[in-house]
Amino acid sequence: MRLFFSIICLYFSIGNMSAQFACGTASPESHPDIDREKFEIIKKQLSQKSISTDSVGLTIHIINNAVDLTTIRNEITSINNYFSGANLTFFTCGAPRFIDGANDYSPIDGDLLHQQNQVLNTINVYYVNTVNDGAGSNLCGYAFIPGFNLEEVDDRYAIISSLGGCLIGGTTLAHELGHLYGLLHTHERAVGIELVDGSNCSTSGDTFCDTPADPNLGRTGVVEGCTYVAREVDPTGKIYTPNAFNIMSYAPPRCTNMFSLEQLAMVRLIHETEYPNVLTQCNFFPDFEVLTNTSLNQIRSDQQLSVDYIFENLGVQDDFEVPVFIYLSDNPSEQGFIIKKDTISFSAFEGQKMETFDIDLPLNSSSNTYYLTVLIDPDFEFLELEETNNLFTLEFRIDNQALADELIFPNPTSGDFKLFIRDATIANTFVVSIYDTDGRLRKRLEGFKNQDEYFTEIDISEFREGLYIIDVFFIKHDERKTFKIYKTD
Ligand SMILES: [Zn+2]
């Protein structure tokens, strides 16, 4: 049986200046049955600051790049500030996981997303582009309030929309976590209307006596700035004086920034009683790091690069086969194209290993500055503690100045030779024809020269020993260059 109250948090804009936060749909059907004695003890401990700090592992899932890592860091910093009063510290258990998915999620879609991606014993938070309520309205997110003494853990997740107003001050995440830790809205009415005089505060509204009776601050014109201005009255005729700073209210996200002591005591109580298996550290995840001591200076296009990379498995010990891609780019802000693919095998208890990669540069790389990037786990197959140390970029220069303007080498050759032409005045399609000394055509191929330098490699290993004439004819310029090469056996 699903013992959850679903709480849907709406976000909508009013004009383009201000925004309101609101939560809708199902409310709790009954008063949560908690251990009041323990609640009072925790409340006292929190106010005396005599309670230890516990860590709680979050798994962050980012769907379709809905948010960047800086946003995630800001969100975590914000919630740790709000929840510090409950002596709870949230941390990301492993690096955020980037997932391809839909752009818009209804609660039904969200359940499926969670079933497919959840990491057990952590609180799973999904950042998506937009969330809808299933009936066409945009939401900031939603979470489920656990029924108390809950057996199952499957629905402990929150989904957050990346729509602008939802991420202000991390309050949507804080609000949804509040629900996951048993907090109701400050204006909740399902368990009874809380009176302004506080006479029924522990059995109605949000059941807390240090959150004033709240008529619902998510309605147009009720809050100006961060002040309640509506002068509405409760059933006994007393004017409401709600708190527009409480995170569990519907006040605008720019206003909300605090939980009350009783709310924090509830969070701590639920943490201790309902989340006994939540991970307090996640150092069992591997962390692949890549480094190099090799420094590259100037090389020619025809030279082979030999780079020593140090691959480190900083996490727990297990066998891993991890793909490694090497990219070449002439633009420091782009990774470029893949010039080599390989796999690194880590055996159990093997921390660090050095691998030498011999890399053939594409011959069409002309004199310029280049960036060689090695990336381990390029497709994020592994859940790691940290992803930012998975790549290393080396800058180097290709400089072909040492080569003559026209060159074939090696000469003599037993197999391949390289043809190099540097001439800014000729370009476009050309034909390479190779003749023997009797004038018979032995090989013909076409090339295209679109930059100052042209470099290619030609295989004549099947030729008999002897002298051959290489004729390079630029069709558009009606210009030819002729070389002789000696083929050995
Ligand atoms: Zn809510």
Residue 63, CB half-sphere, CA atoms under 13 Å: how many?
23
Beta strand 352-360 with 304-313: parallel, antiparallel or unpaired?
antiparallel
pLDDT of residue 381: 80
Burial class (CB in 10 A: 0-12, 13-18, 19+), 39: middle
Listed in sequence order, the DSSP H helices in 240-377 are 261-274
Q: How far is the CA of 215 from the centre of ligand 1 (A)?
A: 15
Contact 374, 340 (CB under 8 A): no
Q: Token pair of 44, please?
A: 């006292």
Longest dimension (CA), the chain: 115
pLDDT > 60? residue 23? no
Question: According to CATH, where is 3.40.390.10 located in the chain?
Answer: 4-274
pLDDT of residue 301: 80
104-148 pLDDT tens trace: 998 889 989 998 998 888 999 999 999 988 888 888 888 887 764
Mean pLDDT, the chain, whole residue set: 85
Q: How far is the CA of 54 from the centre of ligand 1 (A)?
A: 24
Q: What is the mean pLDDT of residues 209-233?
A: 94
Q: How far is the CA of 167 from the centre of ligand 1 (A)?
A: 14
Contact 268, 42 (CB under 8 A): yes
Q: What is the mean pLDDT of residues 362-371?
A: 83
pLDDT > 60? residue 203? yes
Q: How far is the CA of 312 from the centre of ligand 1 (A)?
A: 43
Q: How far is the CA of 487 from the centre of ligand 1 (A)?
A: 80
Question: According to CATH, where is 2.60.40.10 located in the chain?
Answer: 288-398
pLDDT > 90: percent of the chain: 44
Which amino acid appears at position 142 of this protein?
Y
pLDDT of residue 361: 81
pLDDT band at 371 (very low <50, low <70, confident <90, very high): very high
pLDDT > 70: percent of the chain: 90
Contact 307, 357 (CB under 8 A): yes
Contact 96, 67 (CB under 8 A): no
Q: How far is the CA of 278 from the centre of ligand 1 (A)?
A: 22
**293 alpha carbon, distance to own chain's centre:** 28
pLDDT of residue 60: 93
pLDDT band at 26 (very low <50, low <70, confident <90, very high): very low
- In angstroms, the CA 95 to CA 117 distance is 14
pLDDT of residue 291: 86
Q: What is the mean pLDDT of residues 314-343?
A: 85
Q: How far is the CA of 488 from the centre of ligand 1 (A)?
A: 81
Sheet bearing 416-422, strands edge to edge: 406-409, 416-422, 453-459
Question: According to CATH, where is 2.60.40.2550 located in the chain?
Answer: 406-487
Q: Per CATH, which fold does 406-487 belong to?
A: Immunoglobulin-like (2.60.40)
Q: How far is the CA of 196 from the centre of ligand 1 (A)?
A: 22
Q: Token pair of 78, please?
A: 């914000």
pLDDT of residue 89: 95
- In angstroms, the CA 263 to CA 86 distance is 9
Contact 5, 26 (CB under 8 A): yes
Burial class (CB in 10 A: 0-12, 13-18, 19+), 443: middle
pLDDT of residue 161: 92
Residue 448, CB half-sphere, CA atoms under 13 Å: how many?
1
pLDDT > 80? residue 10? no
Q: For residue 247, which of 171, 184, 170 has the smallest C-alpha distance?
A: 171
Q: Per CATH, which fold does 4-274 belong to?
A: Collagenase (Catalytic Domain) (3.40.390)
Q: How far is the CA of 68 from the centre of ligand 1 (A)?
A: 24
H or E, element range at 43: helix 36-47
Q: For residue 419, which of 369, 454, 463 has the smallest C-alpha distance?
A: 454
Indicate the CATH number for domain 288-398. Answer: 2.60.40.10
